[in-house]
Amino acid sequence: MLNKILLKKYSEFLESVDIEINGIRPWDITVHNPDLYKSVFFNGSLGFGESYMKGWFDCERLDLFFEKILKQGIYTEIQGIPLFLGKVKSKFRNLQTLSRAFQVGQHHYDIGNDLFSLMLDKTMMYTCGYWSKDVSTLEESQIAKLDLVAKKLDLQPGMKILDIGCGWGGAAKHFANNYGVTVIGITVSKEQIEYAKQNSDNMDVEFKLMDYRNLDEKFDAIYSIGMFEAVGYKNYREFFKIVRRSLKDNGVFLLHTIGGNESMTTTDPWIEKYIFPNGMMPSASQIAKASEEFFIFDDWHNIGPDYDKTLMCWYENFVNNYGKLKAKYDNQFYRMWTYWLLSSAANFRSRSLQLWQVLFSLEGSERTIKNFR
């Protein structure tokens, strides 16, 4: 009885954005188990994602499905009780303390270098590419992104640079090899550190397994590409304070981060449980408030639509290479991973999420503001 009531409710809900249950268009969903409706009713977006992982429904183009509901702003209506509980938990507890800092590394980045090496490109950059006019491939977009960062930081030979959240070392190696700088990269992932240290013996780079709160050196420039999403709103100001303390007087800092349109204190419950524990997307006002008194803004650049293209490339690489991975990563993992990649692409396509590169300098700095684009 409840399933019938909920079927009517969700049919009307989806029809309002041109989605039909058991329809034939690529963005329509095909329901295999009617328990899907109760799962969504009681568990919101967490139940919806888990239902997909279980095979309770399918959709030929999940990215188009999510694009439709996100553009109309109705996705928040199904996030439900788990989102509310997440907000309560984050209000009374710092979910990104130093003792918890390595959880995201263990849960996500340590999944396996075999997976990421087949999904990403040769640079092993796991963040948004920069799809400028002369770019046609994923690898080219990542190199273009790194060269854009170098231009904004005005990298010069002999500089000592810090990479906060260095990943598999792609950015550090690129800057050391092409700009003559010394780079120290830090990450909370053991798998990333092991990979980064490979083939780096003759490069002016050093990789450390450590949290940013343990920094005690000075640098000419600092960048953080795709790490700030793991800092947490209760630590934003401390993060900027530490970065400021770690810069020389004429230093500069570039923050490359996903951004949200509203200030939040938690993240989607499904993402929290299965993809990025303790993560959250900062808003523009949260960044501005947290950096106040420590930095001045030189440039704020939004390349959010480029993340849609990047994620779709990762999706295609993962799907095309899954045959090499399926012995280790089962069908439920496949459904989880593709659900995440496609729903994320839709978030950027619908402009629900942004990708910002924010350039900061210090008051009294002699740096000249340039046109980077």
CATH number, domain 97-305+352-361: 3.40.50.150
Rg (CA), the chain: 21
Residues of the chain with pLDDT below 50 are: 81-96, 98-99, 101
The amino acid at 1: M
Q: Return the pLDDT at 369.
A: 65
Q: Return the pLDDT at 261.
A: 95
What is residue 218's DSSP assignment?
Answer: -
Q: Return the pLDDT at 372.
A: 65
Domain boundaries, the chain: 2-78, 97-305+352-361
Pull the structure tokens for residue 267. Answer: 């993240």
What is residue 203's DSSP assignment?
Answer: S
Dihedral class, residue 167 (left if φ above 0, else alpha if ψ from -120 to 50, else beta): left
Q: Return the pLDDT at 8.
A: 82
Please compute, for residue 178, the number of CA atoms within 13 A of its CA located in the half-sphere on the CB side: 15
Q: Return the pLDDT at 1.
A: 66
Q: Return the pLDDT at 95.
A: 46
Q: Return the pLDDT at 97.
A: 52
Residue with tokens 């993962």: 318
Q: CB count, 10 Å around CB of 222?
A: 25
Instruction: Please give the full DSSP string across 254-296, using - where no structure is assigned.
Output: EEEEEEESS--SS--HHHHHHT-TT--PPBHHHHHHHHTTT-E
Query: Cβ distance 80 to 39 under 8 Å?
Result: no
Q: Return the pLDDT at 91.
A: 42
